[in-house]
Amino acid sequence: MKILVTGGAGYIGSVVVEQLIATHESVVVFDNLSQGHRAAVHPEAVFVEGDLADRKAVDAALTQHRPDAVMHFASKTLVGESMQNPFLYLGDNVTNGLNLLSSMVEHGVKRIILSSTANLFDQPERMPIDESERIVPGSPYGESKFILERILYWLDRIHGVRFACLRYFNAAGATLTRGEDHEPELHLIPIVLQVAMGKREKVSIFGDDYPTRDGTCLRDYIHVVDLAQAHILALGALDRSSQVYNLGNGEGFTVKEVIDTASEVTGKKIRTELGARRAGDPAVLVAASGKIRKELGWVPQFPHVRTIIESAWRWHQANPDGYLK
């Protein structure tokens, strides 16, 4: 099968590409390198530098490469930024997605996996969160993903586009060759590891008065390789029906627990300071992923937060300045 991966130079996209190529799929990466890295693109993937905002570039890629399926990672992904600049999300994330989807329909490409998010669940009534939970996006970022999920629902009904929306909880960890390198870095685990490496003085804990066991936010961290495996399973099952799946390990760790575990893994003391709450952050997010386990046989290989942090630490030590720029 030939798969076009938008955002295949980014953190999760590049790891999924690595795993697709390991399973002998043929991959075309479409990325504008605004956040991704050329060096993160697997050498066996065809690379197209292009922007989803440019409908002609999308059409040209689909005409030239004729993919059987698309995996759509390319988007803005920061909750905090979306609370400050909602148009980047409610505008660009949605219109870029529409460019891709309308071009797919025009070119007869009828299979897609969408990166979605746990930020759909701002006010969960039950924890862990399963797919029947009421959707209340926590930010314009979450809303932009929800809009794309709804557009896919209609494209399935009207055009027979089969989709899987994978709602990631907190992706983390690395493979031996691919890891997390954002500029600026705003995610907890890489920031904590930068403190351990001496590249940053301290990590700010965004609030310690949440209703959790130690007052800091609790999140469900999922290894990026386990996420990648879920994409491959979901792709294989698309012909049966369209689906949405929540993806996490079903166990949460607080910000303080992540910092303590990172301190054990690295053998370094990690300086912290107490900061204000970050807008858009719910107290607790834990996934119930029984549906994907049952329907697709997904079993996470690296469910422990310690193993996830160890893999990230290995990558950060091997790549202290991230990817070659």
Task: Using the minimum distance from each CB to ligand UDP, give the nearer residue, 25 or 226.
Answer: 226
Whole-angstrom Cα distance, residue 5 to residue 73?
7
Whole-angstrom Cα distance, residue 115 to residue 12?
9
Which of 107, 187, 200, 314 contacts ligand UDP by CB under 6 A? 187
Shortest distance in whole angstroms from residue 118 CB to ligand UDP: 7
Q: Are 190 and 170 in contact (CB under 8 A)?
A: no
Per CB under 6 A, does 147 bind ligand UDP? no
Burial class from Cβ neighbours inside 10 Å (0-12, 13-18, 19+) for residue 138 reads buried
Per CB under 6 A, does 170 bind ligand UDP? yes
Candidates 42, 62, 55, 56; CA nearest to 2 is 62
Q: Looking only at residues 232 through 251 of this chain, which bind ligand UDP when binding is defined by CB under 6 A? A: none
Burial class from Cβ neighbours inside 10 Å (0-12, 13-18, 19+) for residue 177 reads middle
Length of the chain: 325
Helices (H), the chain: 11-22, 55-65, 79-84, 86-87, 94-106, 140-159, 188-196, 224-236, 255-266, 290-296, 305-318
CB atoms within 10 A of CB 317: 12
- Size of the residue set binding ligand UDP (CB under 6 A): 15
Cβ-proximal residue to ligand UDP, closest one: 217
Per CB under 6 A, does 278 bind ligand UDP? yes
Per CB under 6 A, does 129 bind ligand UDP? no
Cβ-Cβ contacts under 8 Å for 253 (sequence gap 6 or more) = 218, 219, 220, 221, 261, 305
Per CB under 6 A, does 217 bind ligand UDP? yes
Give the contact letters, 294-323, x = binds to ligand UDP (CB under 6 A), - = no: ------------------------------
Shortest distance in whole angstroms from residue 303 CB to ligand UDP: 18
Per CB under 6 A, does 204 bind ligand UDP? yes
Task: Using the minimum distance from each CB to ligand UDP, give the nearer residue, 67 or 280.
Answer: 280
Active-site annotation, residues = 141
- Piece in contact with ligand UDP (CB under 6 A), picked from 2-10, 58-66, 142-150, 203-211: 203-211
Q: Which residues form the interface with ligand UDP (CB under 6 A)?
A: 79, 170, 186-188, 191, 203-206, 217, 219, 255, 278, 281
